Each structure stands twice: as C-alpha cells, then as structure tokens.
Amino acid sequence: MSQTQSNASRMDGPGYSRRSFLRNGVAMAGGMAAFVAALRPLAELGEGALPSMDEFLQKHYKEMNEQEMQAALARIEAKVKERWDVDAEVRDVRPRDGVEFVYALNLSRCIGCRKCVHACVAENNQSRAPEIQYIRVLEMPTGTLDIEQGDHDYDHPTVPDAGHYYMPIQCHQCADPPCTKVCPVEATWTEDDGITVVDYDWCIGCRYCEAACPYFARRFNFAEPEIAAEELNTQMSYLSNRPRSKGVMEKCTFCLHRTREGRQPACLEVCPVGARQFGNVRDPESSVSQILETKRVFVLKEDVGTLPRFFYYFDERYPRSGETAVEEG
C-alpha cells in the first residue's frame, strides 16, 4: 500500500476510508430496513393480543387482595364481553375447610362412551380448535393393566367393544405433584382441598410441568383457543374454566367452581353408567371414603410415587361375606 494513498484515505480516522464509511452507511441503512421488514408479521397482532398495562401489572393469584381480585375478575368479564359479546360471571371460588377431594372410577362399569370427555370440554371452555381435552379414555385389552397397550383412538359404532375394558385418565390431583415442583414461577400449585390449579395469568408457558407429569394431564395452548360464543359456559371461575390465552398451560381442576359449592364434576354428572364417584375423603360417610375402605382400589403408576387422589377399582364378582370359608394351608 502506498503511503500517499493511505494518507488520503485517512480522512475520518486512520484505517477507515471515506469510501468504506459510505459503504458501511449504506449497508447499515439496508440492514435497518431488513430488520424492520423481518418484524413485519408483528403488524398482524390482533387487538388485545398484547397485555394491557393492568394485565401486565396484575399480581400472582396468592398476592392479590380482595380489591385487586375484584378488579381482575371484572377485567376478565370485560374481555369476554368484548371478544364474544356474552355476559359472563367470573368468580373466585375458594376451597372449603375440612375438605379433600378424591375421585374413584369403577373400571367394571365404564363403557368407554367418552361422554365425560365432551361434557368436560363444554363445562370448562376448552379450545375447540385446536382441540383440547382433559380426559383421555384408553381402550384396554382385557388381561392387562399396562396402559402402553391401550388404544387412544378407538372408534366403534357402539361401545363397549367385546374383549376390551375402558380406562379414562385425567389429572390425578397428586398429593406429591411433580408438576408444581418444577414450575419456575409458582404459576401452578396445590390448593388446600387437594386440587392442583394454574394461574393462567401467571404462567410463562415453559411447559416444564407438562414434561414432569407422568399422567399426561396437562394441556398447552399452542394457538389462541377458539370457542363459539353460543358454546361458552358463562359461569366461570378464576382458577378453573375462564378463557385461557395462547401460550399458557391448563388442566383438569375437578370442576372446582362446581365441586367447591357442593355440586358434582361435569364428567361425573354425565356418566350414563355411574362409573364415577367423587367426594370428600375426610368425610367418612362419603361415597369415596366407603369405596376406599371396602373396594380393592389401585392407583396408576404407583411406582412414580406422586400419591394420586384418583383411584380405580373393579367391582368384585360376589359379596365376600357369602363365600364359603376355606381352611388356610
């Protein structure tokens, strides 16, 4: 490089010629334009897709005082009104003292009609597209309890199908839940009555809880949930069936907005064969307490040690009391 030329090119600092500076300027401008162009899809963000300031500042469920909770509930009602033009009633239903809910499912009775699946979707305002369902019914070949042999997609004109029994699986509301343990922001926790809930306004959507669950009980909103206005259940609660946004986790809550007020969960109410039993296990007179005491119950995947509050049992063939006594040995 000749000395004169290098001197001439050092107009704006040695080493950077005017030409390269101009070239860089053009490149920078082009780069900025390309950057803006790359972000163009953001222009399609719909109204309300980004959180409002109030929503952004909303506290964690457990930290809200009465007034803040009322404001949050009103905000949800307003959003429902805006999106579906429907008047919803959103409440914050708290657990009752001395109550621990337990589910018991009679595998001898279940016929695999999947009415529970659809009643659940209708009750809890799950997304219809993409489809989200909390209950999975497995069609099991008789002769095994290995759920890996179950068929998830069975489709017969009528049920039950000969040679099979049916095993509905939903959130087991574990007493030692791995899903709440892993959540980095405590957006999911177990309430005093044993129901594991999600604060949909707190969840960051990392899906760690979904990876942790051994029962495939959690569902993620991969897209903005879609529900027709006329299908919306307008009786909503903060921790259960209010509408969810895209990017958050949801799950079965034992229909806490019903069950905490003494009603039965939707899946139980619709069951045509009475395979489902639900109640307070701390009440010795409740049906579930009776079942746990008298039936040979089991839980799924007992080895993972999560202590489910969801029990399965088979009806016994005949009353044990009527059997002929046989001498031992």
* Distance in angstroms (rounded) separating the CA atoms of residues 104 and 279: 9
Q: Which is nearer to another protein, 29 or 315 (CB)?
A: 29
64, two tokens: 């809200």
CB 243 to another protein: min, Å: 15
Q: How far is CA 311 from the centre of its chain?
A: 20
> How far apart (Å, rounded) are the C-alpha atoms in residues 187 and 202?
5
DSSP annotation of 158 reads: S
Size of the site for another protein (CB under 8 A): 78
Tell me if 170 contacts another protein by CB under 8 A.
Answer: no
> Nearest 5°: phi and psi at 3?
-65, -40
Task: List Cβ neighbours of 97 (8 Å cut-off, separation of 6 or more).
Answer: 192
Nearer to another protein, 13 or 157 (CB): 13
Please give the angle made by the CA atoms of 130, 47 and 61, to the nearest 5 degrees.
Answer: 70
Instruction: Point out which span in 33-41, 78-86, 90-98, 317-325 binds another protein (CB under 8 A).
Output: 33-41
Burial class (CB in 10 A: 0-12, 13-18, 19+), 235: middle
Can you give the length of the chain in residues? 329
CB of 138 or CB of 266, closer to another protein: 138
- The residue within the footprint of another protein, chosen from 152, 274, 283, 302 (CB under 8 A), is 152
147 binds another protein (CB under 8 A): yes
Q: Contact letters (x/-) for another protein, 245-284, by CB under 8 A?
A: xxxxx-----------------------------------
Per the CB < 8 A criterion, the answer to whether 222 and 246 are in contact is yes
Among 3, 4, 26, 39, binds another protein (CB under 8 A): 39
Q: Which is nearer to another protein, 193 or 201 (CB)?
A: 201
Residue 329 touching another protein (CB under 8 A): no
> Footprint of another protein on residues 52-81 (CB under 8 A)?
56, 59-60
Round to whole Å and give the CA distance between 146 and 300: 10
- Contact between 298 and another protein by CB under 8 A: the answer reads no
- Alpha-carbon distance 49 to 85, whole Å? 17
Counting contacts by CB under 8 A, is residue 98 touching another protein? no
- Closer by beta carbon to another protein, 16 or else 315: 16
Determine which residue in the list 171, 203, 236, 255 makes contact with another protein, applying CB under 8 A: 203
